[in-house]
Amino acid sequence: EAQVTQNPRYLITVTGKKLTVTCSQNMNHEYMSWYRQDPGLGLRQIYYSMNVEVTDKGDVPEGYKVSRKEKRNFPLILESPSPNQTSLYFCASSLGDEQYFGPGTRLTVT
């Protein structure tokens, strides 16, 4: 089944403790992206990747890092999480115009 998977689905952590949210797609898509969703703000793009080893900042990249060492994986790294990074995170992949979204990761930073 074609899909985008994210892990973990739920995470509660403390300020400053490094964490990684994994994203994997099995559709051989070149384009992958991370978004965060906050009430009243819709989805805002954090980072995106056009292909392996090619990444670029989206609208809200501060406090986040990404890497794209393999085509199928696009992990999101929070080196020192802060409470304002509490949010619902979505990974997406695309071959063309339409984006396929993962199920989301709900992150709470206390």
Partner 1 sequence: SQQGEEDPQALSIQEGENATMNCSYKTSINNLQWYRQNSGRGLVHLILIRSNEREKHSGRLRVTLDTSKKSSSLLITASRAADTASYFCATDLNDYKLSFGAGTTVTVRA
Nearer to partner 1, 58 or 63 (CB): 58
Strands (DSSP E) contained in the chain are 4-7, 10-13, 19-25, 31-38, 42-51, 54-57, 65-66, 76-78, 87-94, 99-101, 105-109
Q: Toward partner 1, which CB reaches closer, 7 or 45? A: 45
Q: How far is the CB of 68 from partner 1 (least distance, A)?
A: 14
Residues 6 or more apart in contact with residue 42 via CB below 8 angstroms: none
Q: Nearest distance from residue 10's CB to partner 1, in Å?
A: 11
Nearer to partner 1, 26 or 80 (CB): 26
Give the residues lining the site for partner 1 (CB under 8 A). 4, 31, 33, 35, 40-45, 48, 50, 58-59, 88, 90, 92, 97-104, 106
Residue with tokens 């070149």: 30
